Chains A and B, each alone.
Chain A
């Protein structure tokens, strides 16, 4: 197999993430997850509180005001992937720059 360029791998990975969140997510199981199920069965959730941001525009992975369930969930997924990619890349870019300046990681204190 030929060597895949880093840029190609990154673009392919990002496209895959967009498709999974934007399209495939519609077919995900709607059942409660492991913790939700156990919590409901055993009574752990007796004092559960509503999420403070339950009315946020993207709450529960659907876009407020978009009625079509498939489109609403897919759009929320795509926006989430985009936002996570931006924030994550930003954070790691800054961390990498700070690491790069030192060159000798052991040199910085503590």
Chain B
């Protein structure tokens, strides 16, 4: 999904550069409230993990592949503001060191792939988490749906950017249909990876999942004194799904 140089004209690239810079500034401000001693190193790891998984293109249709974007995943794990920063770090590294995503298109890419997915994904996740039962399973399901939707929305935003500043003159209906269609398929991969990762962290350290704060009970409550509780299997096994809040 990385937009190379030459797809979007200079004025719109500059304008989205300004939008991206604004988004990063807002992210830096908001991230101060999201980051603490425990989550700051986690945020660095989330960046590196997204970089790694973005290398893993999976086939989606005839001669087409897709890869994780990661904005939804980052936002759920470390918070939406920090998530935008994670995505910006990844996209910057890719553009500067790996020639992936044009330098002039960096603002386009941060806006479309970073800010859009983090905002849409996190918003939808919180919305679903609010209406679903407060269990780990439903949080996994919420992350699945949020990630799935974030990818075609990202494709739609790219189409909008192309409509305003595209360097070529392709009918928009053709672009929108093709872009959104293929990115629904890619969104399924995004959803699987996001839900698997969020569920894994929820299983071992729910307290580290920013989007689940206040929704799931910390594990300490049921494993506190694990050695002592081992003799009471019924008690230890009972609350395997998370608590009501």
Give A residues with C-beta under 8 Å from B.
1-4, 6, 9-10, 13-14, 16-18, 20-21, 24-25, 28-35, 37-39, 41-54, 56, 58-61, 76-77, 80-93, 95-96, 98-100, 102, 105
* Chain A residue with Cβ nearest B86: A88
* Chain B residue with Cβ nearest A61: B98
Closest chain A CB from B204 CB (angstroms)? 4
Stretch at the interface among B115-123, B126-134, B140-148, B168-176: B168-176
Q: Is the CB of A92 within 8 A of B43?
A: yes
When chains A and B are docked, how far (Å) is the Cα of A46 from the Cα of B162? 13
Q: Is the CB of A37 within 8 A of B170?
A: no
Given contacts A35-B3, A92-B82, 10 further A-B contacts (CB under 8 A): A9-B208, A17-B48, A31-B64, A33-B57, A35-B2, A38-B179, A45-B4, A56-B97, A87-B89, A105-B33
A-B contact pairs, 27 of them (CB 8 A): A3-B204, A3-B205, A9-B201, A13-B45, A14-B45, A14-B48, A17-B49, A17-B52, A29-B59, A31-B64, A32-B64, A33-B57, A34-B155, A34-B179, A38-B178, A44-B166, A47-B167, A48-B5, A51-B102, A56-B97, A59-B99, A61-B55, A84-B90, A89-B40, A89-B41, A91-B85, A92-B31
* Chain B residue with Cβ nearest A105: B33
Contacts of B2 in A (CB 8 A): 33, 35
Q: Is the CB of B205 within 8 A of A41?
A: no
Q: Is the CB of A51 within 8 A of B5?
A: yes
Q: Is the CB of A60 within 8 A of B86?
A: no
Contacts of A105 in B (CB 8 A): 32-33
When chains A and B are docked, how far (Å) is the Cα of A14 from the Cα of B93? 17
Say yes or no for B160: interface residue by CB 8 A criterion. Answer: no
Contacts of B242 in A (CB 8 A): none
Q: Is the CB of A38 within 8 A of B175?
A: yes
Closest chain B CB from A63 CB (angstroms)? 11
Across the interface, A31 reaches (CB within 8 A) one of B42, B59, B158, B226, namely: B59
When chains A and B are docked, how far (Å) is the Cα of A16 from the Cα of B170? 42
**Contact count band on B:** 35 or more
Give B residues with C-beta under 8 Å from A.
1-7, 28, 31-33, 35-38, 40-49, 51-53, 55-60, 63-67, 82, 85-86, 89-90, 92-100, 102-103, 155, 158, 162, 166-168, 170, 174-175, 178-179, 182-183, 185-186, 201, 203-205, 208, 219-220, 223, 226
Contacts of A50 in B (CB 8 A): 5
Q: Is the CB of B40 within 8 A of A60?
A: no
Contacts of B86 in A (CB 8 A): 88
Contacts of A4 in B (CB 8 A): 204-205
Q: Is the CB of B98 within 8 A of A58?
A: yes
Q: Is the CB of A33 within 8 A of B7?
A: no
Across the interface, B42 reaches (CB within 8 A) one of A10, A20, A21, A56, namely: A10
Contacts of A20 in B (CB 8 A): 52-53, 55-56
Contacts of A61 in B (CB 8 A): 55, 98, 100
Q: Is the CB of A88 within 8 A of B43?
A: yes
